[in-house]
Amino acid sequence: MFTGIIQSIGKIKKFFFKKKKYCIYIKTNKNFIKDLKIGESISNNGCCLTIVNLYKNIILFNITCHTINNTTFKNLKVNDYINLEKPIKINDFLGGHIVLGHITDIAIITNIENYDFYKILWIKPKNILQMNYIPIKGSICVDGVSLTIDKKFQDRFSVNLIPETLSKTTLSKKKIYNYVNIETDIYTRNIIQTVERLYNKNF
C-alpha cells in the first residue's frame, strides 16, 4: 500500500525478456535503496512490483506479461525515468491518498497548459468507463503521483501540477500524446460499484 508521494526518481538501466518474464533494472539513489530488502514491494510509476535482487543502487524487478500488457511498461525503454515510492508503514503520515499499486487503466495526455509556476495536464483514459470513478475534487494516482481531479468532461479530466510536484516527479517531462498509468481511488470505486449492484438488484 502506498500514498502517491514520490520519494525518488529511478532510471531504467536494463530491460529484457527472459524465461517468459521481463526483467527490469532500475538505478536509484543510495538513500532510497538503503534498508530495502528482497521480497519487498515498490511502486514504479504507480505499479506495485516486488524486489527480486539488490546490488549497490540497482533494483531488479520481474514483470509478468499481464503487467506489461496493462501498463505503460510496454512503452518504456533504457534511460527512461520512473517515479518510485516505498510502501507506507503503519506509523507513517498519509500525505497523499491510499494507493494500492494496481493500475486500473492506461491514459493518454491530450493537452498541457503551461503557466508561470504550474502546469495543467488533460488526461484521457483508454477505457472511457474509468470516468465513472473520476469525480471532481476526488483523488487519482497518475504514474504513481497522488493528484486531485480539477475538471472533468465526458472522456477526459485535468490535474494541476504545482512546483513541488514538477520538481520531484517525472510528470514535468511529460508531453502531449505520452501515456501514463492511472489508478482510480479504491474507495470511490467500491462505493460506486456497490451502489450500482444494489440498484441493479432492486430494479
Distance spanning both ends of the chain, measured CA to CA: 36
If we measure between CA atoms, which residue out of 54, 13, 62, 12 comes closest to residue 34? 54
Q: What is the pLDDT of residues 115-134, one digit of tens each?
A: 999 999 999 999 999 999 99
Structure confidence at residue 178 (pLDDT): 97
* Phi, psi for residue 11 in degrees, rounded to 5: -125, 130
The helix/strand/coil state of 167 is helix
CA distance 69 to 55: 28
Structure confidence at residue 69 (pLDDT): 92
CA distance 23 to 47: 15
Instruction: Show the low-confidence residues of the chain (pLDDT under 70).
Output: 202-203
Q: pTM of the full predicted structure?
A: 0.93
Q: Does residue 101 contact residue 46 with C-beta atoms inside 8 Å?
A: yes
Write down the residue that cell numbers 532510471 correspond to: 11
Q: Where are the alpha helices (DSSP H) in the chain?
A: 30-33, 65-70, 163-168, 186-202
Cβ-count burial of 198 within 10 angstroms (0-12 exposed, 13-18 middle, 19+ buried)?
exposed
Structure confidence at residue 89 (pLDDT): 80
Structure confidence at residue 203 (pLDDT): 63
CA distance 58 to 12: 9
Write down the residue that cell numbers 460499484 correspond to: 193
In order of their start, the domains of the chain are 8-85 (2.40.30.20), 105-202 (2.40.30.20)
Q: What is the pLDDT of residues 56-80, one digit of tens each?
A: 899 999 999 899 999 999 999 999 9
Structure confidence at residue 175 (pLDDT): 97
Q: Tell me which amino acid residue 174 is.
A: K
